[in-house]
Structure 1
Amino acid sequence: MENFAKINFLGAAGTVTGSKFLIETSEKNILIDCGMFQGLKELRELNWNNLPMNAKNIDVVLLTHGHLDHVGYLPRLVKQGFTGKIMGTAPTLAIAEIILKDSAKIQEEEAEKANKEAYTKHHPALPFYTIFEAEKTIKQFQVEVPDKWIVLSENISFRFQYNGHIIGATFIELDINGKRFVFSGDIGRENDYLLNSPKKPEWADYLFIESTYGDKLHPQEDVDTILSDIIKETIHNKGNLIIPSFAVERLQTLMYLLYQLYIKNKIPNIPIFIDSPMGNNVLEVFKRYPKWHKLSDSEYNAMCKHINIVQSYKETWETIDDKRPKIIIAGSGMVTGGRVLTYLQQFIDEPSTTVLLVGYQAEGTRGRLLKEGTHELRFFGKYYPVKAKIKAIESLSAHADQNDLINWMSHIKNIPEKVFLIHGEPTSLDAFRLKIKETYHWNVTIPKLTDMEKLQV
């Protein structure tokens, strides 16, 4: 085997989304994650580019977890000729299947709507990929169990290790010629409502670590009190509380929190509507894989019974027409698309409405604009005045903050030859670089998009 592995930073380098890291060796070419870029227009436009290498030459894709910015490019990779296996844990591949099908459906619908209503400069507007292409991709999925070394070739093996963040998420340890490459994926939090604490790597010759919150500490908020105050105010104003939510993990966490507030008598029995077809499917994944989370069967069943799950677009409109004060949780978390836009179209211009943001809002998203106080919001080709109150809870993030990230590295026994900071906006990356140098005195690099590094193995 050659003494070098080439690492190509094809995404999530100098930015948070679009996770793709290609490792080229003389034995195998391995792609770690295969995500879509989200957020700023110039990033989203990169999604339409083919990979700068022949997809047929990639042997295998290993997935850290099922979020769109880690799996959303897979159908394009298959379209470009990739025929290998796509490996992940069982819940990761279950989530990836849901997300790819949902994403394809939304893209087909949005392309059709844009063509019909002519609010796009693309003629015709095309979906990024179709449901057919998503289904073809899913056929290449292969489930692997965590904690077990899987041999890829004579000198290359890998294993998945539990990482919190979302159900099924892992970090990846990849051994090449005796050198260990550790890809953090997205790291979860120590005291998550639904998930166990992440495991920690114990050896890393080359460490690739996410930096989403590399410059921040999550605030110590009393989430119960903040939520119950907002809900009581919503009832008092006879209004609607709209919570744009990520369908994976955040939605289930909100269900759990609201159910707990009700059984602790901290809020009255206000109607709660979950309008996220994808979120409903993710609930099924929780049911199928109980060992991957902390909810008991009885808690899970009681929580689902307490909440109204919207099953159709007809029911979306029935929910809108329901005059009672209510809580509506709908996708998507950064207000980039999905059912939440239908509710905002009806209610964002009413002062009795509250929009509660409960997750990371990437640059260039509608969620970030709302958080920063925009007076109007554009969607479906029109501008809507923002008269609703906009509030945010910062501490529900599924991402490790700076302390958690530093702590996650604390069990590494050796001094890594190189640490690469990925998945972060520039200020976050630089702050985290300084923190690692100060804490561990390690050699830290911040790669840029399309950079290539040769590493000795």
Structure 2
Amino acid sequence: METISDYKNTKAVYLQSLGAAQTVTGSKHLLKTPGLNILIDCGLFQGIKSLRQKNWDKLPVDVASIDAMILTHAHLDHCGYIPLLIKNGYKGKIYMSPPTRDLTELILRDSAKLQEEDAEKANRHGYSKHHPALPLYTTADVENALPHFVTINTGKPYSLNTHISFQLYVAGHIPGACSVAISCYGKAIVFSGDIGRYHSELLPAPTHPAKADMVVMESTYGDRLHEKGDTMQQMAFMVNETIFNKGNIIIPCFAVGRAQDVMHILYKLKQQKLIPAAIPVFLDSPMASSASKVLLRYPEWITISQKECEQMFSGVTINQDYDGTERIIRQKGSKIILAASGMLTGGRVLEYLKHYIGDQRNTILIIGYQAEGTRGRALLNHAHEIKIHGLFLPVKAQVKEIGDLSAHADQAELMTWLKAFAPAPANVFLVHGEPGAQEVLRVKINSEMHLDACILKQDEAVWLFDVDEPASTSV
């Protein structure tokens, strides 16, 4: 592949990853064409400190040169940088599905609020190296971003100019999540976004167009298969074992997607009398509560009835504030607590960990992907202690994992998704994965499908094809 540095051609299309290249988070993929520059996703880096610091760096492209943006879904590593994009000069529209619009507003407001709270707490207790500690962006920055949001329904092409249009396809990752198929100067380029599961608790299976010339594809679980087993039986066993030991079950979960899946499983377990009906279930995440209500507004995006959706919510006590968190912690007796964040990078779950991680009777149940450098990854790697708010806490609680609850397709499902294109795409570009996982998937694609699969590198612009038609710049 030729890069932009040695193939400078104004009548060509290039692809440049500004994030989620050889790492999982920070998704930002720029399609540079003679007429328009289109950004697919605009997420925050998460995980190890060297990645998180990238959020403070200036983007390697002129933000004002980006003409349009398309958002695949509402997770923070795909949408969390949007307020900074606007603050730094982006003037265009941001296209997304209707549920993604509602969920993104929730997530960005929550992200700004947490950053403001963390900065205030760091300044008050003096545990930051920065004086003063500042939030990456504020609630006001989020408010400035919201007018740029434009909703687009799936199954309908949307034209950006004479030569470029796009269409959204259900991706099955979280409610509203989509893959993006861009028709660009006669070529079909598909950006997978995050690919969901083919057998989800609440969501339909992922879809995409029949044909693609080029595919930009996530590879989070490119090197592994999810544990195959009876998820409900596994959950029931862990809950009942912890209750027998007079402990508590803490489930760190993403407020959008995993929280709702777990609530549905717990609802079914109680209905089938596989766990005690009296065991209290707390959802300590105002954002997860609000996100759950989005499901009721968009019933066409989930696979269960509205009645069942309402019933599963009715069996959960929702907490809104930190005073409530303290009351839940003080409440005697076993309980199940769902709290964000899913990778234990912040949020209410840290308060529970501080109180419960030192007691072997308790269970911390990990259910989703844990990025390198997060507390969740450390726990899965059997860390003997973790650091929370400047304190090192010994890990004595039981740390368990249910892999089949992941919202990401595993290697077999990724291959199923890719093999559904007919004919097969000419090029596959792997993003959103750690290097080891990407290399394993690259080799598997090359060997099984005989396709030219390559791994995109951070900030490197790759030439895709030349364009003969004159440029058109309207949006």
Q: TM-score, normalised by structure 1?
A: 0.98
SS of 1:10's partner is strand
Please tell me whether the aligned partners of residues 431 and 455 of structure 2 are also in contact (alpha carbons under 8 angstroms).
yes
SS at match of 1:154: coil
Which residue in the other structure is 2:179 paired with?
A: 171
Kindly tell me the number of residue pairs found equivalent between the two proteins: 457
Match in the other structure for 1:317: 326
CA distance in 1, matches of 2:429, 2:396: 43
CA distance in 2, matches of 1:455, 1:233: 55
Instruction: Indicate the residue corresponding to 2:209 in structure 1.
Output: 201
Q: What does residue 255 of structure 1 align with?
A: 263
Q: Where does residue 14 of structure 2 map in the other structure?
A: 6
Structure 2 partner of 1:437: 446
Q: Secondary structure at the match of 2:160?
A: strand
Q: Kindly provide the amino acid, as one letter, of the partner of residue 310 in structure 2.
A: N
Q: CA contact under 8 A between 2:49 and 2:373: conserved in structure 1? A: yes
Aligned positions of 1:342-357 closer than 5 A: 342-357=351-366
Match of 1:304 in 2: 313
1:428 aligns with 437
Displacement after TM superposition at 1:38 (Å): 0.7
Alpha-carbon distance, 1:83 to partner: 1.0
Structure 2 equivalent of residue 113 of structure 1: 121
1:278-427 aligned at under 5 Å gives the runs 278-427=287-436
71, 86, 92: which one aligns with 2:94: 86
TM-score normalized by the length of structure 2: 0.95
Whether the 8 Å contact between 1:201 and 1:409 is mirrored in structure 2 is no
- Residue 158 (structure 2) aligns with: 150
Q: Which amino acid aligns with 2:172?
A: G
- Stretch deviating more after TM superposition (164-173 or 24-33): 24-33
Whichever residue aligns with residue 281 of structure 1, its letter is S
Code of the residue aligned with 2:231 in structure 1: it is V
* Partner-residue secondary structure (3-state), 2:179: strand
Q: How does 1:89-238 map to 2 (within 5 A)?
A: 89-238=97-246
Unpaired runs of at least 5, structure 2: 1-8, 468-475
SS of 1:161's partner is: strand
Compute the displacement of 1:315 (Å): 1.3
1:2 deviates by 5.5
**8 Å contact from structure 2 (residues 202, 302) kept in 1:** yes
1:92-151, Cα deviation, whole Å (9 max, x unpaired): 111111110000000000000001100010111110110110111112100111111101
Give secondary structure in 1 for the equivalent of 2:433.
coil
CA distance in 1, matches of 2:280, 2:262: 14
1:201 touches 1:408 (CA, 8 Å); kept in 2? no
Does the 8 Å contact 2:250/2:337 carry over to 1? yes
| SS of residue matched to 2:344 | coil
- Offset of residue 201 of structure 1: 2.9
Name the amino acid aligned to 2:122: A
Residue pair 1:60, 1:85 contacting (<8 A) in 2 also: yes
Q: Residues of 1 paired with 2:171 and 2:264: CA distance?
A: 21
Q: Deviations over 1:158-202 (max 9, x none)?
A: 010111010001100111110111100000111111001111331
1:409 to partner: Cα distance: 1.6
**Secondary structure in 2 matching 1:193:** coil
TM-fit CA distance, 1:19: 0.5
> How far apart are residue 27 of structure 1 and its match?
1.2
Amino acid paired to 2:306? D
2:68 to 43, 56, 60: 60
Look up the SS of the partner of 2:287 in the other structure: helix
2-structure distance, mates of 1:396, 1:198: 16
Q: Deviations over 1:378-407 (max 9, x none)?
A: 011111111111111111001111111111
CA deviation vs aligned residue, 1:269-298 (integer Å, no higher than 9, x gap): 211111011100110110110000012111
In the alignment, the residues of structure 2 paired with residue 221 and residue 111 of structure 1 have an alpha-carbon distance, to the nearest angstrom, of 43
Structure 1 residue 19 corresponds to structure 2 residue 49? no
Question: What is the one-letter code of the residue matched to 2:60?
Answer: P
- Work out the percentage of aligned pairs sharing the same amino acid: 47
> Is the CA contact 1:15–1:424 (under 8 Å) kept in the aligned structure 2?
yes
2:434 maps to a residue whose letter is: E
CA–CA distance in structure 1, aligned partners of residues 159 and 231 of structure 2: 44
